Every structure is written in C-alpha cells, then in structure tokens.
C-alpha cells in the first residue's frame, strides 16, 4: 500500500472533516505532551499512525474505526468515548468549561469541555492488521446464510481448518499465561471442565451496566457450536454455574441479571461463552447469531447430536471469505 493514502468516502459523504479532526487531535496531543517517549509503547504507536481511511463510525456508540499504517504495515485504531460514570457527575458539572450554543425559553444547550481526566478516550490498536481485520470493521452489507449438516462438512469445516491456526493464537497466549494474565478475573484450571473468565475488549471495566465478559475453555479441540454433543454438557454446566458465581462475587450481579450465550458463526474458532448484563444491548446478541447457553444445554439434553445435525442460520458480511465459499458452491445468491 502506498504511504500516502487518499481521502475516501463513507456512505457517499467525504471523510475530510472526520480525518481533519483526527489529525488535529493528534497535533494537540503532540503539542501538549511533546515528543513521544521511546519507553512508552502506546504513545510511540499513535505518533507513528498514518491515517488512510475511516472504516466506520457510530454516533450511537460514540466510536470510530480508522484504517492506517504504522511503519509501512496496515493498522487499525478504534476510538471510543467512555460512558459517563455516576460518581463523576458532580465534578463534571462543577469543574467543566461551558459555552452557550442555543437558548429558547426554558431550553438551552451548551458545549461542555470536561477536565482532562474525565474526557479520556478508550483507544484500541491492532498492528499489524490483516485484510480480514480491516474488513471486519468496515461498514458493509450482511446476508443471512442457511447452513445444513452437509454444508458444514463440505464448505464451512474446510474453511475453519484452514483459518483456525492463526485465528486463535491470541487465545492460546491467554491460556498459556503469555498474555493478559492480569485481566483474568476467574479460572477453573481443570483441563476438561475448566475455563478462564476475563473482560471482553469491548468493555472498559468501569460501568457494570455494560458488563461484558468472555469465558474461554481450556479444551483446545472444540472449534464452535457445531462440535458440541451431550458429552460436553458437564463443561457447559460448569461454565454456566461457576461463571455466574464469579460474576456475583466480583460485580454483585445475580444470575437473573445476566445473559450467557455462544455465537455461531463465532469470530474465532475456539469455544468461548459470552456473559453480559441483561439490560445491556451488547453487540452481537441478536437472535441471528447468539444462542443462549441455557438453550444450548437443553437442546443437547434432548438430542445428543443436535448441533451436528441441525440446519443453522447466521449472518455473514459481504466481503467475508466464507460467504464467497457458499456462493461458489451455489448455496447463496447475493450481489457480487
């Protein structure tokens, strides 16, 4: 990719203003803090980030996904405004600078400039980023796929086996205690029934109302929901029970305030269970992808081979390689 990246369009609107705001923010940071210290890896990475394209931005989620380059390699930066904490409201109101924008009768709006320690932005950096990483965060259409038992063995499984090794290396790093050790909030070390429980990267760990945890199983031969049989019920029950207990102890949230589910298709092919607060409209909790853990256990009790034989439905994005596999096999009719 060329070092100079041209301005692109997002939903037909030029990104110039967005890109200029990001560049201006980077300039402000550099002026405030001076040159990046070599020992500070985060600052070094951000100072070396050259913007190419805004992949997606969400006013509702107050986030933006930016594709760029660091040292000639593709990179992704995700910027997310942190939720306002209840214990900071008093300081936010009394310690901020405000500028009147509009006043009409009893209504008025202001631009509020919060103190620096209350206006931080969660920043996630992926570098080097693969083409799949970039496509994952780019806005694009999705299509609902029907996958029969035969489709899984003929189309999906060969795709999984080809992609799985690089897809789960970061998971192995966690299980082998090579990374994110300090983020693990609970572990059952049993090799057959055990798992580690840690915060999902989407959660800032400040607001329990947005709680989002991931339970990653120690067994390394379970790729997805399709591999589960009645033999795995003890594992699933153990995750369900001990995950709920750990969350109650750590965050004071009872089981009836939690949602536990498994994705199909998952974003990576190593069995894991999502735990979120029930009131939180968590990304990926829609019925087309999320399968409640309680229902999974119940289905396997009723039919030991339920997920091996059942026809599954799930969404795939337009540029997903698996979607192309289904299209090439004549199992999907979508625009090219």
Q: Looking at the annotation, which residues are catalytic?
A: 272
Asked whether the beta carbons of 312 and 264 are under 8 A apart, the reply is: yes
Give the contacts of 276 (CB within 8 A, at least 6 positions apart): 211, 212, 213, 258, 259, 282, 285
Q: Which long-range contacts (CB under 8 A, 24 or more apart) does 285-288 make?
A: 285/259, 285/261, 288/144, 288/313, 288/314, 288/315
State how far the Cα of 53 lies from the Cα of 6, in Å rounded to an integer: 8
Q: Before 265, cis peptide (omega within 30)?
A: yes
State how far the Cα of 130 lies from the Cα of 76, in Å rounded to an integer: 9
State how far the Cα of 267 lies from the Cα of 214, in Å rounded to an integer: 13
Q: Which residue's structure tokens are 């936010």?
A: 92
SS (H, E, C) 89-144: HHHHHHCCEEEEEEEECCEEEEEEECCHHHCCEEEEEECCCCHHHHHHHCCCCEEE
Q: Which long-range contacts (CB under 8 A, 24 or more apart) does 253-259 make?
A: 253/208, 253/211, 253/277, 259/285, 259/292
In 3-state terms, what secondary structure has residue 246?
Answer: helix
The bridge status of strand 97-104 relative to strand 73-81 is: unpaired
């Amino acid at each position: 990719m060329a070092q100079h990246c041209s301005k692109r369009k997002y939903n037909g609107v030029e990104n110039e203003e967005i890109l200029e705001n990001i560049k201006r923010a980077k300039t402000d940071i550099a002026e405030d803090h001076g040159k990046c210290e070599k020992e500070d890896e985060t600052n070094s990475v951000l100072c070396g980030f050259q913007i190419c394209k805004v992949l997606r931005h969400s006013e509702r989620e107050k986030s933006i996904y930016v594709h760029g380059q660091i040292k000639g390699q593709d990179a992704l930066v995700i910027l997310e405004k942190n939720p306002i904490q209840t214990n900071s409201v008093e300081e936010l109101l009394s310690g901020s600078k405000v500028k009147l924008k509009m006043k009409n009768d009893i209504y008025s709006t202001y631009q509020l400039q919060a103190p620096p320690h209350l206006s931080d932005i969660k920043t996630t950096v992926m570098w080097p980023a693969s083409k799949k990483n970039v496509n994952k965060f780019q806005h694009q259409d999705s299509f609902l796929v029907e996958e029969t038992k035969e489709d899984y063995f003929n189309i999906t499984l060969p795709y999984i086996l080809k992609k799985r090794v690089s897809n789960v290396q970061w998971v192995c790093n966690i299980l082998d205690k090579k990374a994110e050790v300090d983020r693990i909030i609970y572990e059952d070390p049993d090799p057959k029934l055990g798992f580690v429980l840690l915060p999902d990267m989407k959660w800032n760990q400040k607001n329990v109302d947005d709680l989002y945890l991931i339970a990653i199983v120690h067994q390394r031969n379970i790729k997805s929901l399709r591999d589960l049989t009645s033999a795995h019920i003890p594992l699933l029950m153990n995750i369900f029970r001990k995950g709920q207990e750990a969350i109650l102890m750590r965050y004071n949230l009872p089981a009836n305030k939690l949602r536990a589910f498994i994705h199909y298709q998952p974003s990576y092919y190593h069995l894991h269970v999502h735990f979120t607060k029930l009131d939180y409209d968590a990304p990926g909790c829609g019925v087309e992808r999320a399968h409640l853990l309680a229902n999974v256990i119940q289905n396997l009790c009723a039919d030991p081979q339920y997920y091996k034989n059942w026809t599954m439905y799930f969404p795939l994005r337009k540029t997903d390689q698996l979607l192309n596999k289904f299209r090439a096999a004549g199992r999907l009719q979508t625009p090219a």
